[in-house]
Amino acid sequence: MPQKSYLFPDARIAARGDQSCDTTKDGFQCSPEISHRWGHWAPYFSVESKKVSNEIPDQCKVTFVQMLSRHGSRSPSKSQDKGFRKSMKKIKGARERKEEASVFDDYEYRLGLESLVPFGEKELIDSGTLFYQRYSSLAAINIPFIRSTDSGRVTESAKRFIEGFQGSKIKDSNADKGQAAPKIDVVMKFEKDFKMTLHHNTCPRFEKTHRGLKFDAITKYAKTWMPAVKKRLGGLIKGAGLRLIDIFQLMELCAFQTVADASKGPGKVSEICNLFTKSEWADFDYTQTLSKYYAYGNGNELGPAQGIGFANELFARLTQTEICEEETSFNPDLEFPVDRVIYLDFTHDNGIVPILTAMGLYQVDLPGDKLQSPEASGDFSAGWVVPFAARAYIEKLDCEDGDFIRVIVNERVIQPTGCGPDELKRCKLDDFLQILSSAKDKWDWQKCSKPLSAKERFAATQRRLATIKFFAS
């Protein structure tokens, strides 16, 4: 029986076994009009373009690949869990719930905390499998160099990726079976004063002020759509005293409940998701996109600055040269070989966006007062760039017409700004190296250590309090 949908009466949820719903190659395609609009809480899904193929061109061969991956789908964080429980307590205590909200009649909140869910483990196994299949010419005879942050869900994701990668290698008759299995070579610690290129905790000014720039953007756009949703749901769930924060948390809960249940049976979205309309999901998705853009992307001068260290590392890896002078997040005390051809780095969504932006991707302006599609936003969207299990490939291509770099984010070819025109969206190697080397000039890392003024501290506090006040209404 298809899942019942009050707001989408014609919806038909595809079964997990359906090729269009959940596959190794295309990811989670179940009810895409809903599940692809969860921003960075979306399970992995391919955003391959029909206009530009991501297949390796016939006249080229891959000689180097760098992958940057987010961890797989997880359970809520402690703060999210606390918020979900508060919202559910209100809903359970409502004076009346209409039939459209009957999903809560038998619903019990029983999600875990922060760790990968089984479906998230599968996402990374699939990712490892797909990576090996794509780059088997390199992977069959080369051992990847692997780094991870020390977050449990990130290291577990790296291990599950290795499982998929090595499982495919064992089956490959052309592979060097005498090689050792890949392992995590470097674990980067998430702690104060520990320099690392895979996370954003190394820029004090960003953490204290600039990270909060997203609050203004979130609040401004949320005002255009959330009050109407609150009014509508208030009519379905009477006497619960729902606030805007409850509405937002219900939309997040839809995503987390879906990935928690995804490994238990036929692929489908949680019935909680059907409380909201397609347009409301589009607005939710864009709100999440603005959050990433103004915190870590092109809308924040110190967001991409935290990707400079990785840009310098990538330059060193591509040119097989040492990093001689480094004042950013690069840690010279950690193992850093430059003679490999496969590099795999595992981190969080907030580590990936600064890196990709510093590499010349997503150099766009996003309006904060009206919805804009990913295509109109230079392909920048939280769900398109950093869903759970997101992966970006940076390929070095030796082609008949020269050496090129190609960047593929979740199966979509993205050409960095600063590259010449190319119908395959390749970037000449020299042009890409110039983009990487100029990142330190475009984004000012030195501002990270600049002391805060009393005025700046006050503004940061007021910004945060204004957002809290809005969502508490």
Q: Pick the catalytic residue: 22, 36, 40, 71?
A: 71
The DSSP secondary-structure symbol of 420 reads P
Question: Which neighbouring-strand residues pair with 408?
Answer: 393, 413
**Spatial CA neighbour of 272 closest among 436, 87, 439:** 87
The secondary structure element, H or E, covering residue 68 is strand 60-70
Residue type, 381: S
Mapped onto helix, strand or coil, the DSSP state of residue 219 is helix
Phi, psi of 370 (to 5 degrees): -150, 150
Which stretches does DSSP call E strand in 216-341? 237-238
Q: For the CA atoms of 256, 260, 261, 262, what is the dihedral angle to 10 degrees?
A: 90
Check: CB of residue 121 under 8 Å from CB of residue 156: yes
Q: CA-to-CA distance for 38 and 225, rounded, in angstroms? A: 16
* Axis crossing angle, helix 278-296 with helix 244-261, rounded to the nearest 10: 100
Q: State both tokens at 201.
A: 């905790």
**Spatial CA neighbour of 63 closest among 405, 437, 401, 431:** 405
Q: Pick the catalytic residue: 22, 246, 349, 379?
A: 349
Q: Which position has the token pair 């193929």? A: 53
Check: CB of residue 99 under 8 Å from CB of residue 6: yes
Residue type, 266: P
Q: State both tokens at 252.
A: 């997040």
Active site includes 349?
A: yes
Q: CA-to-CA distance for 231 and 234, rounded, in angstroms? A: 5
Active site includes 71?
A: yes
- Strand 96-97 relative to strand 391-399, pairing: unpaired
**Spatial CA neighbour of 459 closest among 202, 205, 203:** 205
Check: CB of residue 305 under 8 Å from CB of residue 327: no
Phi, psi of 192 (to 5 degrees): -60, 135
Check: CB of residue 74 under 8 Å from CB of residue 115: yes
Max CA pair span of the chain: 71
Residues annotated as part of the active site: 71, 349
